[in-house]
Every structure is written in structure tokens, then in C-alpha cells.
A = this chain, B = another copy of it.
């Protein structure tokens, strides 16, 4: 098929949808470092992890040898409710930028959770249900993960308890309401329902909460109630595994039209979207079959890859979770109130951290107002109001397309459009009113945070 026959949107047939997730760890010559038990300093065993996570998910977390892991039929059926997601050829954007670059984006926002998070939420909820559990607990910041999990649990009839960072709970009442509509219970964190919450409230009754604190509460709730486990929407190996459906669908769609991307761009907070998007392409690179340029884009306010250190650190500020080896700003680092809530995480997926450490992937950080400029431009040209998180990738894709205009290169650019900004209009309002800030942490702040890293590994 010739390239000018590529439609605006490529939808795969149901029969072309992935039947197995791709596990990039199987192709990594250097595996991501194992999670450590902070008490012993030794790798967590399946048994230890099983107290917090479902059995099947622990197996997936530890599996770094099987290249493909079959997607159960029930999950594939659920995927059919909102997948395949469209791979969009950004003809309008190309024309407006007057660039010779060819731009594609994989749009994951066409489901009620508003993002790619549902891909892993349904998998985690399914395994919990399958294990005979009553319910799951989790935390949510921006609210995309909490909404996705509420949807998955609502569908399966599983109890869902969400600890929502208090300031988000108050600023985003509508996010909370979507979760309630899907039957989830939503508790502002810190709360009086957990030991961790009571301790934090005793120290600082006025605190507006943090993701780290909410994680601690959710983990405590799960481990102290019979029939519950904790689930997490990013960072973990299992999450990147589930999110590989994004990249697998992309690859099938591009292969169908004989298109090979030169660069693949994604926003990166904990790494769930970027990891899922690039996995199958990174696999080809690792196996020496084809080369690609990968770019992780993070907020300048929370620059774990570009300014962090590669070290063992806690996944949560409460220090109840295992230690992970990753690029981190320190688990005590409190990101500024950057509106890309989903990217306000101090660490980065161990898989992506390892790939970045080996120079297989680049990273860039961008400032918030530049991100919103790109978001508004994109919204008007391509008709989709993007999430602030996703707009980090848009910013760099536009920058690269402009470079192509200058050099005359006809590069093929693929980026991940992870979600929509319908629940982020408070941030858009700040941008529209010209009162958005661009806080960047100082070197001193970061050094002070690094000094508190655990002395392990």
C-alpha cells in the first residue's frame, strides 16, 4: 500500500489485537535489578510479595524470561470494549507546522478513565477476582488510575478502595464522583482509617497529603484486611507488561502500512505509558533487528531521569514498600504543584531506568508553560484536548517536527497521546489566565534529597 493511502486513523480489526503481552525484560541482556526487602536488604521473595500483591501478578513481576505472556480471554474481551485504540496520522498538525516530518500518535484517551491506565487496571482486577479476593486497595493522585481501577472493579463486581491525595480530592470533586459512580469508595488521604494516616495527621493536621502517604495507607489497608490486596498503576514490571498492548497495537498498525518510525516519544512519570509504548520496538533494538530513537519526556519540575540518580530507593514516602533500583529524586522529594499530576513521582520504572542507564533511550525535561502552549496548539489543530501529562510528549514531537522543517528531513515521529484533559481544566484555566508558574528544583534541593537515600545496593 502506498503511503498516501494511510487514513487519518488506523483501527486494527479485533482479530489483529494482541493475544499476548510482550515482556521486554526477556530481551534485556542486563535485567532490571530486583526489588529488595528493606528489612533484610535481600531480594523480595514471591512469598513476601504475595502478602501485598495477587499471586499471578507476583509471578509476572518476577518473570524476566518469558517473552510473551498470554492475555486471558476475559481481559481480551474487556479490551474489546475500548480497544483497539486509534493510531492517528496527524495530517492536520503536519500541515499546520508545514513540516516534512510524518507524525503519528497512539491515542489512549477514548475511554471513560481518560487514559491508558485501564489496560493494567483490568488485568490487575481480573487476577484479584480470579484469586477469590474480595477487593483491592490503591492510591490515586491525578485520578486517572483510580478511575480506571474503579471501572475495572465495577465491571467485575470487586470492592475497590481508593486513597486519593487530599488536595486532589478537594480540587477534583468530579474525578472523585466518577469513581463513586463506578462503585468505588474514595477516602481523602491522609485519613483516620489507617495507622499511617493517623501518624501523619498527628504530625501535621493541616497536611494536604501526598502520593507517598496515600500509597502507605493503601498498602496498610490491604495487608490488614482479609481478602484484599494492593494494586499500583505504574512503576512495576507487571504494569509495563500490561501496557505493552499499546506498543503491540502500534507496531501491527504501522507494519500493515509499511511505516517504520524513526523516533518514538512518550511522557514519563512512573513509566507505565512510555514503557508500554516502546516495549516491542525496544525489543527489536535489543535483539539487533532494527534501531529506533526513544525519547522520554518528563516535567522540569520533577526530572527523575535527567537530574536524578540511579540507586535503590523506596517507592513510597512512607517507606512501607520494597526498595527498587531506579532513577530517583529521593522518596522524600516533594514535587512542586505541577499540574501534570500523573508525572509527579520521585522515581522511574526499574525497566526504563535500566534501559536509560545503558544509553538505549534518551530523556528530556520540559517546562510547564511550554507544555501547555503545545497542548493548546494541538487541541485547536487536531481537535483533541490533551491531558497535561500527554502534552509533554506533544511538546517534544512538535519541537522535533519543527527541526525537520529546518533540516528538510522527512522523519517519521510516533508519540503516545496517553489521555484527555477533561478533568484538568483548572490547570488550563491558569494557563489561559497567564498565571501558570514554571518551578524547577534547585541543585541544592536535589542534593539534600539525595543525601537521604537509603544506603543499600
Contacts and interface: CB of A to CB of B under 8 A. Distances in A.
B383 A177 contact: no
Contacts of A385: 112, 178, 181
A155 interface: yes
A296 to B, nearest CB: 26
Interface in A76-115: 80-82, 92, 110-112, 114
A173 B181 CA distance: 21
A8 interface: yes
Residue of A112, A151, A183 with highest tally of chain B CB at under 10 A: A112
Contacts of A114: 422
Contacts of A112: 379, 383-385, 420
Nearest to A88: B81
A225 to B, nearest CB: 23
Nearest to A382: B81
A154 interface: yes
Contacts of A252: none
Contacts of A257: none
Given A382-B81, A422-B422, A425-B174, A376 B181 contact: yes
A80 B8 contact: yes
Interface in A332-370: none
Counting contact residues on chain A (CB < 8 A from B), the size range is 35 or more
A167 interface: no
By secondary structure, the A interface counts as: helix
**Copy total for this chain:** 2
Given A80-B8, A81-B92, A376-B181, A155 B383 contact: yes
A429 interface: yes
A439 interface: no
B177 A432 contact: yes
Contacts of A81: 8, 92, 382-383
Contacts of A376: 181
A182 interface: yes
Residue of A81, A111, A432 with highest tally of chain B CB at under 10 A: A81
B182 A379 contact: yes
A149 to B, nearest CB: 13
Contacts of A47: none
Given A178-B425, A181-B428, A425-B177, A383 B111 contact: yes
Nearest to A424: B174
Contacts of A432: 177, 180-181
A428 B173 CA distance: 11
